[in-house]
A and B are shown apart, each in its own frame.
Chain A
Amino acid sequence: MTLLEARGIAKRFGGVNALDGVSLAIGKGQIYGLIGPNGAGKTTFFNCLTGLYRHDAGRFWLDGVELDTRSPDRVVKSGIARTFQNIRLFAGLSVLENVMVGRHARSGVGALGAVLDTRAFRAEETAVRARALELLGYVGLQARRDEPARNLPYGDQRRLEIARALATDPRLLALDEPAAGMNATETAVLRTLLERIRADGVTLLLIEHDVKLVMGLCDRVAVLDFGQLVIEGEPDTVRRDPAVIAAYLGATVGDAP
């Protein structure tokens, strides 16, 4: 069963083809890795998928329904959440508030309800708070809920960002380099967390440079280079592919001058 299907996604920046007709399919319950050298178009693909960029060609389907990527909030409501390569928490808000913001798309009482302090408003606030606390427990940050997000150590900030993304009840969670800058211990904790999220029924798409993590964790891997899909398959197949080796090391030895 395919959860996300991308067909012919293209994005140009001036004369640069950042994405040049990328097509891929992610199965339900998979952990799908997107790798490639710097500038290959991985983050651009994420930004197109999550509505931060508008792609020039191609379409996405989520669970058979075409995805409306005209604005990020529509994408979130459809069930795709993301994290950022350079962590983007709401630094001045508390840890708990960060996760509560993530519930925005799944709650609906407006300004009037809040001003009149209606019963629906109170019930929803209680529910939002409870769900946020539950998620903080899930990623192991409940003890630090009242601290400002900026005070958390790096690894915790990464996990908070994941909790915030999970608060939107995603079917697909897209993680942009979740292990970047982490030490081995933090990466191990992260890996356990990601496997648990998958076990709870969320499909994962991750961009990652940590090859060990990708090969060990992912069910399938796609390699991008110069905006094009080089190969897509099982980690072991991908690892041995000459085109992948060429993409990472520049060229084959025979081409050297």
Chain B
Amino acid sequence: MNLPQRIAQWWVHGQTWPGASWTRRLLVVVALALLPFLLEAVAGRAWVRIADIALIYAMLAVGLNLVVGFAGLLDLGYVAFFAVGAYAYGLLASPQFGIHASFLLLLPLGAIAAACFGVLLGAPTLKLRGDYLAIVTLGFGEIIRIFLNNLNQPVNITNGPQGVTLIDPLLLGSFSFGKPHSMLGVTVAPVHAYFYLLVCMVALSMLVARRLQNSRIGRAWAAIREDETAARAMGIDTRNLKLLAFALGATFGGVAGGLFAAVQGFVSPESFTLQESVMILCMVVLGGMGHVAGVVLGAIVLTALPEALRVVGPLQKAAFGHVWIDPADLRMMLFGLALIVMMRWRPAGMWPAPGWARRTPSAVGSKPQVAARGRDDAP
């Protein structure tokens, strides 16, 4: 099979890329190792940074997919857990309180804090489904952000809208991610080092998510997603399993938040708006809800696309000698258009799970008969 055929196969049938092997895995590792240098050479260091951010979003998408894709619980406040993780790291590794705790301590701490918030959100929403659940989670996300925004008085905890600054870069043993390193004659800049760390974290997240999916727990989540009453009648404790989905999903968010704080060196409530929650949900839905690799692809595409569309400004200048449409506006328009096109013609996402025709996403509307297109020959 030649390459275009393979791509067509993958696109139409939503199958795994054909021909998995150790050679291929090795190639992937080598490609990922070279990628930041390639990006820097071709597009500049800014793009390595964008890649870092894309990887953080990928972790978030994998985490949200646990809740929305696996268990079918529509969560519009997911960014709150990201915020909890980011602030947990930011407050305890910065001059804010003069505490500079170790990353190895703070990352689990942020994860646990986020998981607790996950349960806190999950508990009152156990009996809610669909739209009602979405509204409560949306409110929860806003509450967290508003708290972060206002907890600068009477006692200054979060430094309010100014955010927490001068957050410590990651320190693993004696290796600081905050300054460049020379290794084998190659200079590894902080953005590069973070890139490698984040790639490992995303890979780990994907592994954890896939193992969960193919387990007793993942099956129980799928049962809850498909028919909650029947799931209960099959002996599934839906209360505990929903709380578990919220807690585990939140854990991913918390870890991603900690990494985000370290990479940026700065956190403020502005990074955790409703728009961010919606964006992460878009990554999950557009990527392929319920498919771990798909949502990672969704995260990368949706992070890179708006950045890539920045060129429309200079392009207009070159073509017409004048910028007719503000690049920012055009980006949002094209982005919106991409969403509409995808949802109309490919509702199961860019890279749906193999056998996706039968996975009805029940949390976000998409008709199975539409999704069934081209899957008749599935084994």
Q: How far is the CA of A146 from the CA of B354 in the complex (A)?
A: 13
B208 on the A face (CB < 8 A): yes
Q: How many A-B residue pairs have CB under 8 A?
A: 115
Most chain A CB atoms below 10 A, which of B244, B358, B360: B358
Q: Residues of B contacting A125 with CB < 8 Å?
A: 215-216
Count chain B residues whose beta carbon lies closer than 8 angstroms to a beta carbon of A. 34
Are B229 and A88 touching (Cβ within 8 A)? yes
**Chain B interfacial positions (CB closer than 8 Å to A):** 208, 211-212, 214-220, 222-223, 225-227, 229-238, 244, 248, 355, 357-360, 368, 379
Are B358 and A72 touching (Cβ within 8 A)? no
Specify the chain B residue showing the minimal Cβ separation from A76: B235
Q: List 20 A-B contacts (CB under 8 A).
A: A72-B235, A73-B232, A76-B235, A81-B234, A88-B227, A88-B230, A89-B227, A92-B226, A94-B358, A102-B235, A103-B216, A104-B219, A104-B236, A105-B234, A110-B216, A110-B217, A114-B214, A115-B211, A150-B368, A151-B358
Are B358 and A92 touching (Cβ within 8 A)? yes
Of residues 31 to 86 in A, which have CB atoms within 8 Å of B's CB atoms?
50-52, 71-73, 76-77, 81-82, 84
Q: How far is the CA of A50 from the CA of B234 in the complex (A)?
A: 10
Are A117 and B232 touching (Cβ within 8 A)? no
Most chain B CB atoms below 10 A, which of A73, A84, A110, A125: A73
Are B244 and A92 touching (Cβ within 8 A)? no
Q: How far is the CA of A82 from the CA of B379 in the complex (A)?
A: 32
Given A101-B219, A124-B216, verify A168-B235 contact (CB < 8 Å).
yes
Count chain A residues whose beta carbon lies closer than 8 angstroms to a beta carbon of B. 45
Q: How far is the CA of A59 from the CA of B51 in the complex (A)?
A: 62
Given A52-B233, A150-B358, A168-B235, verify A114-B211 contact (CB < 8 Å).
yes
A93 on the B face (CB < 8 A): yes
Q: How far is the CA of A168 from the CA of B208 in the complex (A)?
A: 28
Are A82 and B233 touching (Cβ within 8 A)? yes
Q: Residues of A contacting B226 with CB < 8 Å?
A: 90-93
Q: Residues of B contacting A106 with CB < 8 Å?
A: 235
Are B212 and A111 touching (Cβ within 8 A)? yes
Q: Residues of B contacting A21 with CB < 8 Å?
A: none
Specify the chain B residue showing the minimal Cβ separation from A116: B211
Q: Residues of A contacting B225 with CB < 8 Å?
A: 92
Are A84 and B233 touching (Cβ within 8 A)? yes
A11 on the B face (CB < 8 A): no
Q: How far is the CA of A118 from the CA of B248 in the complex (A)?
A: 19
A27 on the B face (CB < 8 A): no
Q: How far is the CA of A92 from the CA of B379 in the complex (A)?
A: 16
A-B pairs, 10 with minimum CB distance? A105-B235, A76-B235, A114-B215, A148-B358, A90-B226, A88-B230, A72-B232, A101-B223, A73-B237, A92-B360
Q: Residues of B contacting A88 with CB < 8 Å?
A: 227, 229-230, 233
Contact of B234 among A51, A71, A101, A121 (CB under 8 A): A101
Contact of B217 among A50, A77, A102, A111 (CB under 8 A): A111
Are B211 and A104 touching (Cβ within 8 A)? no
Specify the chain A residue showing the minimal Cβ separation from B248: A111
Q: How far is the CA of A113 from the CA of B359 in the complex (A)?
A: 25
Specify the chain B residue showing the minimal Cβ separation from A169: B235
**Contacts A81-B233, A114-B211, A114-B212 supplied; 20 other A-B pairs, CB < 8 Å:** A50-B233, A73-B237, A76-B233, A84-B229, A88-B229, A90-B230, A93-B219, A97-B222, A101-B220, A101-B236, A104-B220, A104-B223, A104-B236, A105-B236, A111-B217, A113-B215, A115-B211, A115-B212, A125-B216, A150-B358
Are B211 and A117 touching (Cβ within 8 A)? yes
Encode A150-167 as 1/0 by CB contact (under 8 A) with B: 110000000000001100
Specify the chain B residue showing the minimal Cβ separation from A124: B216
